[in-house]
Amino acid sequence: MEFTQIKEPNVEKPIIIAAMQDMGNVGSIVINFINQSLNTTTFRTAKSQFPTYVIDNGGYVDIPTESWDYKSTSDLILFGGGSGQPQNNQELNLLCQDVIDISKKYSAKFIYTLGGFHTNRPLEKNPKTFVTTTSKDLTKQMHEMGLEVTQKSFITGFNGLILGFAKLNGIQGIGMYGELNEPKIPQYRAAISIIKTLEKLTYRNLGNTAKLEMLAQEVEKNFGT
C-alpha cells in the first residue's frame, strides 16, 4: 500500500467518517455523497500496489488503478468511497492502521463507519439502520437515543474491521449498517437511512438527499425492487 500526503488539512479535532465500497455500494454512496455535498478537498491518498483483478475490454485487458482518498472540511475527515476494497488482509490491515494513524495525528476522538446489512425482511422502501459501537456504555447511549442495535454476528471487510482497530487504540467508534435485500444492486435507500442516522449522531446537516431518492426510484423502476 502506497500513501501520499498531498498537503496538511486545516482541521481541529475532527470526526472521522471512514467507509469503503461494500454490498449494495452503500459505503461508497454515502462517502461520495458527503464529499460532494460538503465540497471536501483531498489531502492524502492511499493506493494499492498490486492489482486484484484485470478489466477485460473484449479481447484485451487493462489494469485498474485502485486508490482511495482522505478528504476534509474544517471539522470532518472522510476516508474511502471509490470502488473496491483491498482483497488481501495485509493491505486491509495497512489501510485500517493508516486511518488510525491519521486519527491520532489530527487528534480525532471519534470514528464512524458504515455499510450494508443484508436482510430478508421486506423493507417496503423504508430500510432501518442498525448501529454497533466500541463499548457497552456507548451502546447504552444509542439505546437512549432510540436507535436500534445490531445482533451478534461477524462483520468482515474494512467497514467492520476499522472498529476493531479503533477499539485497540482507545478511540471511540460507531458502525451504522443499513438494511438491504439485494446486495448486487446499488442501495440508495439504505444510504439515505444511514445519512439521516449520521446526522442525528453528529448534529450536522450533511446535505439534501433528494438526488439519492431519485436514484433509488430509478433503480426500483429498472430492477422491479
Mean pLDDT of 80-104: 89
Asked if residue 188 lies in contact with residue 213, where contact means CB atoms within 8 angstroms, the answer is yes
Query: Is 154's pLDDT higher than 90?
Result: no
Query: Is 108's pLDDT higher than 70?
Result: yes
Number of helices and strands in the chain (H, E): 6, 11
Count of domains for the chain: 1
* pLDDT tens-digit map of 46-88: 998 877 678 899 999 988 778 899 999 989 999 998 778 887 8
Query: Is 214's pLDDT higher than 90?
Result: yes
Q: What is the pLDDT of residue 55?
A: 85
202: Cβ contacts below 8 Å, ≥ 6 apart: 15, 112
Q: What is the pLDDT of residue 224?
A: 67
pTM score of the predicted model: 0.91
Full residue range of the structural domain in which residue 64 is found: 2-223
CATH of the domain at 216: 3.40.50.10900
Mean pLDDT of 159-176: 95
Radius of gyration of the chain (CA): 17
